[in-house]
Amino acid sequence: MGDPIQQRQTAIEEYKQVVSQFRALTDIRFKLLTYLPLGTVATIFLSKDGQLATQPAVAAFGLVVTLCIAVYNKRNDQHYDELVARAAELEREELGLPHGSFAQRPTNWLRYGPLPVEHRWPIGLIYTSAAALWTYLLVTGLLSPSSRTVALGLVASALIVVSWLWLRHVECTSREQLKCAVRSLKDQIVTEGPPGEDAREQVIGAIVARAKELQVDAEKAKRRVWCHWEAYVSKHDVRAGSGLLSAVIDLPARWIEDVWTGRR
């Protein structure tokens, strides 16, 4: 065991870094949410007679940039969630702050009818609205002016919104499938007796059977289980099981534990 004072100091320094990164990602999010809509509107209304925005090349560029920023933001969301989880873990287990700001972040309990009050869907709707506007300008810029052109532009914009709703559904479904697979595998690993050759093969078989839900390559998963099995056997506890799954599916062990315990 290391020096407890040194361990606590190390945890404090990591906590500072995690909070700093959390603030940086939050700042990036707000900047993107500010500049993207303003930039889109400014391009349309500040260009001479609005002609610049109706140029197909400009509209296509605006659409591609909007979609790329939306994907970038979605990836930032994943990092954001893990920073929150790590800060909460440090507060609970290292810093003695079980009621800290991150350990006790409230769930999104408020709803207006079917709409939950949260960050994700409003942000997604902003990106979708910008993409729909650029799509409308692209379609109307490619076709000669007419009432049919306007109608086609509106239909194309509506398809962007429908696509966003479909992608949200795919995201939610994939997330729940992944969580279900992780819970099932963690249950199997935790309830196994003293791990031996049979236990390893059973775990490998279960992972291979759920490779699609876990989004891992079956052959890589087999090799990773073989590689990390001895480290798991040496401890054979709940945390070691999370570490084994983490090494196989490339997701944080704390995320696996949070899913298994119902925290996420």
Which candidate, 250, 259, 253, places its Cα nearest to that of 179? 259
Residue 14 forms part of a structural domain: yes
User: From the CA atom positions of the chain, what is the Rg in Å?
Assistant: 24
Domain presence at residue 129 = yes
Q: How does residue 36 score in pLDDT terms, banded at 50, 70 and 90?
A: confident
- Do 81 and 20 share a domain, yes or no? yes
Residue 113 has pLDDT above 80, yes or no: yes
In a domain, 119, yes or no: yes
On whether both 133 and 21 belong to a single domain, the answer is yes
pLDDT in tens, 234-262: 887 888 888 889 998 889 988 998 899 88
**In which residue are the tokens 């930032």 written?**
76
Q: Which residues pair with 111 in a beta bridge?
A: 116
Same domain, 26 and 106: yes
For residue 33, what is the enclosing H or E element?
Answer: helix 4-46
Q: Which domain holds residue 196?
A: 172-264
Mean pLDDT value of segment 115-119: 89
Largest CA-CA distance found in the chain, in angstroms, rounded? 77
Whether 225 contacts 204, CB under 8 Å: yes
Quote the CA–CA distance of 186 and 241 in Å, as a whole number.
Answer: 7
Structure tokens at 219: 């052959």
Are both 53 and 99 inside the same structural domain? yes
pLDDT at 9: 92
Domain count, the chain: 2
Is residue 48's pLDDT more than 60? Answer: no
pTM across the whole model: 0.84
Half-sphere exposure of 249 (CA within 13 A, CB side): 28
Is residue 214 a contact partner of residue 178, using CB atoms and an 8 Å limit? yes
Distance CA 159, CA 167 (A): 12
